Amino acid sequence: MLDTLLTDLRKIDKRHRDALKRLGLFTVRDFIFYFPVDYEDFSTIIPINMVKPGEVNTVQGIISEIYNEQTQRQRMMLTKATLEDKTGSLESVWFRQPYLEKFLKTGSYVTLSGKVEYNRGRDLQMTSPVYEKYRPEALHTGRIAPVYSLTAGITSKWLRFVLKPYLKHVTELEEFLPQACLKRHRLLARNEALKQIHFPDSQQSLAQAKYRLGFEEMFLLQAMKLQKRSVFKQARSYSLKFDKKLAQKFVKKLPFTLTDDQKKASWQVFQNLEQNKPMNRLLEGDVGSGKTVVTALILNQVLKQGYQGVFLAPTEILATQHYQSFLKFFADNNFNIALFTRTQRFVDKKEISTNKLLKKIKDGEIDLIIGTHTLLSEKVKTKKLALAIIDEQHRFGVKQRATLKTINTGNKIPHFLSMTATPIPRTLALSIFGDLDLSVIKEMPKNRKPIKTSLVAPFDREETYDFIRQRINKGDQVFVVCPLIEESDTLGVKSVKEEYKKLNQQVFPEIKIGLLHGKLKKEQKEKAMQNFLAKKTKILVSTSVIEVGVDIPNATIMMIEGSERFGLSQLHQFRGRVGRGQKQSYCYLFTDSLGEKSYNRLKTMENCLDGFQLAQHDLEIRGPGEVYGIRQSGLPDLKMASLTDAELVAVAREEALELVTKDPDFREHPQLKNELLRFEKTVHFE
């Protein structure tokens, strides 16, 4: 019965079927797992003489009168009714539902739930109450009633009515959590929880149902991740010796001293590399905290011992910049370094054909390959890749990581070092990756001055422009970031062009301005960057597409248009493009909408310079899916469990770990195995 198609159910007509499809509901099972998003608590029926103005009350009685009436001024149809019980009578009113007069006839016995108010300050009345003809088992009123997320053509009321009879089929679902686990955590049985989640008997049983269903989701997620991880753990990688002298020599040559956090992170990586198990480590560090030099220090070890390294960046511009940085870092070595992007194939600054490059990589002649996603789609094969570094890892998908595991010819897989400036709390990292090691760079290089950030209201624009003009005249440079305005305008070309025109013609007509967006040709993009770097242009207007990493120390001002359209973490990333040199830097958040919510949200940017705190803020306001992008980062879209609920993650993980350790292939847990297969499909793990 569970797999019966809704289209085969006679009760459901064509119009409703289409609407159900839009909600993604195809089978009875889908129906059962379509959880309410909210509840209305109408569980206490009270005598009419006890109703209180201002409250939502539920009353039961006989309709003693019902009629339609048209309002004088607006010509709206009102339906008015009087309900009576032993203790008194109460008026009700509905708007634009004249059919109610026929439906709730005089003399019928009904339950009404709704807000009680004074009608023009005189008599008590119930406004637009939810109604139900009395039935022994009330569906909508006189209980805690479910509220569903809906689409046109379907009401919660209809869903409650249609769903209820099919709920009994929950008994066909098997329990997959071990009995001991159910006991330990006092969990409701699965089918009971599913019943209660739709039609709870009480607030308490609703809470229990939510907990059980959240637990099961988190358990499945952890079991899946841990099982994959145990497969990954069996894989072998190269074991590298740590060469202390080499590291010291490298560090000595740097124009600055490493921060303690940079040293610690490098040390943690070195320890992993000595094992023959593949490393799986995430390096978190705020924008500008100096992650690149850490990777250079590590790569130096890897390449010196004759192994290959790959460095992946999310954009062409960033890959190019890293390529140049590494050429500098390794100027004294004779490493062969390649750049491999959609439009560029270089080895040691010389252009090379794709085929030649592929061959050189396969033969092990290239030591370090720096590139973008293209590198993965071009079927690159390496000879002895020992380390894969992924910059801004949340911009890469799960599939791309998987591809890297098979990139080596032979059976060894590389060590993985992912990097991010968008901090992921430990709990969330465990939810997403099941298991991985974390290194965190908290401390900023010492020479930094905090960036002064201001939220600029529309009426303060001119003043801010004046200030920026002064700074430019003193030799500073300015980034301007514009948001995507329309969905269809995926590259933000339209808004960026308009902004460019405005600044060029109206605001700063005397100043040279550059333009950068995703639709430009490679040469045009490079030219725009180079002109800016060479100070030929003083202002660079760009889309948010090139948000990350770019290093231009002379740029000290960041202007962000439509800042209310961005998350705090993202704004922080933009801001991180300035403040890289010795000079005082500024960040201006322009906004044309100053609703209270977005005002307060943006205001936090002024005082908070800590990317971790801002990410936490984002998480609370917008949830992990919004912050990290569900599809992109492989974040599962769970229905019940919160990915950031530390306690839930911990207990579910512990249970899953015990089970996976004892029974890694789920041979003794066939129900769980089935459930996992289904789960993997529904959580959209790519």
Name the residues that contact ligand ADP, by CB under 6 A: 256, 258-259, 262, 285, 287-293, 421, 445, 447, 549, 551, 580
Is 91 in contact with 125 (CB distance < 8 Å)? yes
Position of tokens 């231009």? 552
Report the b/e string of 259-276 with b at 16+ CB within 10 A. Answer: bebbbbbbebbbebbeee
Nearer to Mg ion, 549 or 624 (CB): 549
Nearer to ligand ADP, 608 or 630 (CB): 608
Q: Which does 178 bind (CB under 5 to 8 A by kind): Mg ion, ligand ADP, none?
A: none
3-state secondary structure of 395: helix
314 binds Mg ion (CB under 5 A): no
User: Torsion angle of alpha carbons 56, 58, 63, 64, nearest 10°?
Assistant: -70
Q: Which does 287 bind (CB under 5 to 8 A by kind): Mg ion, ligand ADP, none?
A: ligand ADP
**Which residue, judged by CB position, is nearest to Mg ion in the bound state?**
549
CB of 416 to Mg ion, least distance (A): 17
CB of 271 to Mg ion, least distance (A): 23
Q: Which does 355 bind (CB under 5 to 8 A by kind): Mg ion, ligand ADP, none?
A: none
CB of 337 to ligand ADP, least distance (A): 17
State how far the Cα of 13 lies from the Cα of 26, in Å rounded to an integer. Answer: 14
3-state secondary structure of 441: strand
Nearer to ligand ADP, 290 or 636 (CB): 290
Nearer to Mg ion, 101 or 392 (CB): 392
CB of 325 to ligand ADP, least distance (A): 8
State how far the Cα of 341 lies from the Cα of 66, in Å rounded to an integer. Answer: 74
| Residue 59 CA: distances (Å) to CA of 95, 100, 268 | 20, 18, 66
DSSP state letter for 389: E
CB of 287 to Mg ion, least distance (A): 7
Nearer to ligand ADP, 427 or 569 (CB): 569
Q: Is 357 exposed, middle or buried (0-12, 13-18, 19+ CB in 10 A)?
A: buried
**Which residue, judged by CB position, is nearest to ligand ADP in the bound state?**
290
Nearer to Mg ion, 423 or 549 (CB): 549
Specify the DSSP element, H or E, that contains 568.
Answer: helix 568-575
Nearer to ligand ADP, 212 or 395 (CB): 395
Nearer to Mg ion, 396 or 666 (CB): 396
CB of 534 to ligand ADP, least distance (A): 18
User: Contacts with Mg ion in 641-670 (CB under 5 A)?
Assistant: none
Is 616 in contact with 644 (CB distance < 8 Å)? no
Q: Which does 43 bind (CB under 5 to 8 A by kind): ligand ADP, Mg ion, none?
A: none
State how far the Cα of 650 lies from the Cα of 520, in Å rounded to an integer. Answer: 48
Report the b/e string of 63-95 with b at 16+ CB within 10 A. Answer: beebeeeeeeeeeebebbbbbebeeeebebbbe
If we measure between CA atoms, which residue out of 277, 624, 593 comes closest to residue 430?
Answer: 624
CB of 474 to ligand ADP, least distance (A): 22
State how far the Cα of 550 lies from the Cα of 288, in Å rounded to an integer. Answer: 10
Q: Which does 447 bind (CB under 5 to 8 A by kind): Mg ion, ligand ADP, none?
A: ligand ADP
> If you count them, how many residues does the chain have?
686
CB of 236 to Mg ion, least distance (A): 30
CB of 394 to Mg ion, least distance (A): 13
Dig out the tokens for 12 from the structure. Answer: 């459901």
Q: Which does 2 bind (CB under 5 to 8 A by kind): Mg ion, ligand ADP, none?
A: none
If we measure between CA atoms, which residue out of 498, 506, 495, 505 comes closest to residue 462?
Answer: 506
Q: In the sheet where 368-371 sits, what is the strand order?
A: 350-351, 345-347, 337-340, 368-371, 308-312, 385-390, 415-420, 280-285, 437-441
Nearer to Mg ion, 130 or 558 (CB): 558
CB of 284 to ligand ADP, least distance (A): 10
CB of 551 to Mg ion, least distance (A): 8
If we measure between CA atoms, which residue out of 310, 298, 308, 280 comes closest to residue 243?
Answer: 298
φ/ψ (deg, to 5) at 72: -65, -55
Nearer to ligand ADP, 114 or 309 (CB): 309
Dig out the tokens for 169 from the structure. Answer: 């089929």
Q: Which does 551 bind (CB under 5 to 8 A by kind): Mg ion, ligand ADP, none?
A: ligand ADP
CB of 551 to ligand ADP, least distance (A): 5
φ/ψ (deg, to 5) at 130: -75, 140
Q: Which does 237 bind (CB under 5 to 8 A by kind): ligand ADP, Mg ion, none?
A: none
Nearer to ligand ADP, 347 or 552 (CB): 552
Report the b/e string of 539-575 with b at 16+ CB within 10 A. Answer: bbbbbbbbbbbbbbeebbbbbbbbbbbbbbbbbbbbb
Binding map of Mg ion across residues 65-104, x = CB under 5 A, - = no contact: ----------------------------------------
Nearer to ligand ADP, 445 or 623 (CB): 445
| Contacts of residue 25, Cβ cutoff 8 Å, sequence gap at least 6 | 6, 31, 34
State how far the Cα of 331 lies from the Cα of 119, in Å rounded to an integer. Answer: 83
If we measure between CA atoms, which residue out of 404, 338, 337, 355 comes closest to residue 377?
Answer: 404
Nearer to ligand ADP, 387 or 468 (CB): 387
State how far the Cα of 216 lies from the Cα of 192, in Å rounded to an integer. Answer: 13
Nearer to Mg ion, 61 or 549 (CB): 549
Q: Which does 445 bind (CB under 5 to 8 A by kind): Mg ion, ligand ADP, none?
A: ligand ADP
CB of 536 to ligand ADP, least distance (A): 21
Q: Which does 258 bind (CB under 5 to 8 A by kind): ligand ADP, Mg ion, none?
A: ligand ADP
CB of 24 to Mg ion, least distance (A): 39
Q: Which residue stretches of 254-315 are H helix?
A: 260-273, 291-304
User: Contacts with Mg ion in 538-577 (CB under 5 A)?
Assistant: 549
Q: Which does 190 bind (CB under 5 to 8 A by kind): Mg ion, ligand ADP, none?
A: none
Size of the site for Mg ion (CB under 5 A): 1
Query: Which residues would be at the binding site for Mg ion (CB under 5 A)?
Result: 549
